[in-house]
Amino acid sequence: MNVVNESPRRKELTRLAAQLFVQEGFDRTTVRMLAQEMGIKSGSLFHHFRDKQEILAAVIEEGTQNALMLARQALEECGDSTSERLHAMARAHLQTLLTDRNAHVVALYEWRRLDPAARDHLSHLRDAYEALWEQVIDEALQAGLIHGDRFLVSRFVMGALNWTVRWYDPEGPRKPEDLAHELVAMIAPATHVQPGQSTKV
């Protein structure tokens, strides 16, 4: 059984699984549905994954790794100002929801279906991501850009962002950039944003 490695085939299967998990939910997605989507028979599935749980864990790990990487990259590439860093984080978050939507939706909705071992492992990844947010929010608090309780503000912001998967329509007129702008404007109204952009209301 090809349980340990990270073959390209396994990656492709993980991507397909994410799509099905979003459409049907984890519990309603049967191994036979997964196999069919992948163009193989259900028995063959267990050559790539130890069990159904491991497919879920693979989907979530993939998505979270990706988000973490993109957020770190966004922070490195943006300017030093606190306002720019807030923007960069919000934009990166929303862009991953756009480009890597399935894995993220699964991570948000099916987290509780993970068994304790997988949950423990993956929560470290998630904590690393949330730590990035808390750090940037800390900076914004110290700079007087936003006000309030560190813990509560970061939870509220994460909530507002994560909730977007429920209503955001990538085909609509609003771009991730617009949402990020609006969110930062909402919590830090006095902010001067990136050069070249006016503070729209």
User: What residues line the site for DNA (CB under 7 A)?
Assistant: 2, 5, 7, 9, 29-33, 35, 39-44, 46-48, 51-53
Answer with the entry of DNA, a copy of itself, none that 52 interacts with (C-beta below 5 to 8 A by kind): DNA
Rule CB under 8 A: is residue 157 a binding residue for a copy of itself? yes
Interface with a copy of itself: number of residues (CB under 8 A):
33
Answer with the entry of DNA, a copy of itself, none that 98 interacts with (C-beta below 5 to 8 A by kind): none
- How far is Cα 94 from Cα 172, in angstroms, rounded to an integer? 14
Reference 33, options 17, 46, 49, 57; nearest CA is: 17
Structure tokens at 101: 């939507």
Find all residues with CB under 8 Å of 158, minimum gap 6, and list them: 130, 133
Beta carbon of residue 148, minimum distance to a copy of itself (angstroms, whole number): 5
Rule CB under 8 A: is residue 150 a binding residue for a copy of itself? no
Residue type, 198: S
Q: Which of residues 182-201 bind a copy of itself (CB under 8 A)?
A: 182-183, 185-187, 189, 201
Q: Which residue from 149, 170, 192, 197 is in contact with a copy of itself, where contact means CB under 8 A? A: 149
Structure tokens at 197: 């952009």
Residue type, 48: H
Reference 82, options 175, 151, 144; nearest CA is: 144
Beta carbon of residue 42, minimum distance to DNA (angstroms, whole number): 4
- How far is Cα 140 from Cα 22, in angstroms, rounded to an integer? 35
Question: For residue 71, which phi and psi values (nearest 5 degrees)?
Answer: -65, -45
Answer with the entry of a copy of itself, DNA, none that 163 interacts with (C-beta below 5 to 8 A by kind): a copy of itself
Q: Give the interface with a copy of itself as residue ranges (CB under 8 A).
A: 25, 27-28, 109, 112-113, 146-149, 152-153, 155-164, 166-167, 174, 179, 182-183, 185-187, 189, 201
